[in-house]
């Protein structure tokens, strides 16, 4: 049992609070005295009481790609937020390159209970278009700071972008042209010696 008065500022004017119900968003309804007048109330707990942190991020040698997960700590998630993978030029979200990796953003719905979730797998084929300058892959929880308590320490986990053998960089147009020229050159040499 929790004394609801400890959740309010001392000068709020409320006392003698009696809770009657709580929903999955952490909102509490009840009755109490406000400035010595009897009133009903709706108390919405601060979103900062909920923290969502990454629990894992690792290369998946069996399936290829990466596995990741997260945990909800403190209280049920009060409003929808997300978890997603990002490419970055460092181990920091501040240096992320572009938006979330395509197909990696997942909604963490309001009401999601305290607990651990995952592992989720992002296949190597979904990670093939590594942007120029990317040195790290990040899993980031609540990247838009919906809960109001985002920090690099609590909401980001990084992995050096040394992909598994199934992860192949895209061939640039210049390399493709060079490859075609060399293949043509070998073909011409082969035909000369065949005579």
Q: Show the DSSP H helices in the chain as ranges.
A: 152-155, 173-194
Instruction: State the Cα–Cα distance between residues 72 and 65, nearest whole angstrom.
Output: 24
Residue 66 has a pLDDT of 95
- Please state the rounded mean pLDDT for residues 7-22: 80
Q: What is the tens place of the pLDDT at every residue in 78-94?
A: 999 999 999 999 999 99
Residue 48: pLDDT over 60: no
Instruction: State the Cα–Cα distance between residues 177 and 71, nearest whole angstrom.
Output: 47
Q: What is the tens place of the pLDDT at every residue in 165-191?
A: 444 444 445 544 454 545 554 544 444
Task: Give the C-alpha distances (Å, rounded to integers) separating 108 from 84, 136, 142.
Answer: 10, 24, 9
Locate 115 and state its tokens: 């607990």
Q: Which 8-state DSSP code applies to residue 73?
A: E
- Give the model's confidence band at 13: pLDDT under 50 very low, under 70 low, under 90 confident, else very high: confident
Is the CB of residue 26 less than 8 Å from the CB of residue 110? no
3-state secondary structure 31-68: EEEECCEEEEEEEECCHHHCEEEEEEEEECCCCCCEEE
Q: Where along the chain do its domains lie?
A: 4-45, 48-160
Residue 20 has a pLDDT of 85
Residue 123 has a pLDDT of 92
More confident: 30 or 142: 142
Instruction: State the Cα–Cα distance between residues 135 and 163, nearest whole angstrom.
Output: 10
Maximum separation of any 2 CA atoms in the chain, in Å? 108
Q: Which CATH architecture has domain 48-160?
A: Sandwich (2.60)
Residue 63 has a pLDDT of 81
Among candidate residues 72, 26, 23, the one with its CA nearest the CA of residue 45: 26
Among candidate residues 153, 141, 138, 137, the one with its CA nearest the CA of residue 112: 141
Residue 133 has a pLDDT of 94
pTM score of the predicted model: 0.61
Euclidean distance between the first and the last CA atom of the chain, given in angstroms as a whole number: 94
Most confident of 14-28, 67-81, 175-189: 67-81
Q: What is the tens place of the pLDDT at every residue in 91-132?
A: 999 999 999 999 999 999 999 999 999 999 999 989 888 999
More confident: 86 or 5: 86
């Amino acid at each position: 049992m929790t004394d609801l008065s400890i959740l309010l500022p001392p000068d709020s004017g409320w006392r003698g609070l009696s809770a009657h119900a709580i929903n999955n968003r952490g909102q509490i309804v009840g009755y109490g005295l406000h400035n010595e007048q009897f009133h009903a109330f709706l108390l919405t707990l601060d979103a900062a009481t909920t923290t969502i942190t990454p629990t894992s991020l690792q290369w998946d040698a069996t399936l290829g790609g990466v596995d990741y997960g997260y945990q909800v700590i403190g209280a049920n998630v009060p409003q929808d937020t997300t978890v997603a993978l990002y490419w970055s030029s460092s181990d920091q979200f501040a240096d992320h390159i572009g938006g979330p990796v395509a197909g990696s953003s997942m909604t963490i719905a309001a009401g999601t209970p305290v607990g651990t979730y995952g592992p989720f797998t992002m296949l190597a084929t979904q990670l093939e278009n590594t942007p120029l300058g990317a040195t790290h892959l990040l899993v980031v929880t609540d990247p838009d700071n919906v809960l109001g308590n985002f920090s690099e320490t609590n909401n980001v986990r990084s992995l050096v972008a040394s992909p598994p053998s199934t992860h192949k960089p895209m061939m640039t147009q210049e390399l493709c042209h060079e490859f075609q020229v060399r293949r043509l050159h070998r073909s011409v040499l082969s035909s000369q010696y065949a005579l």
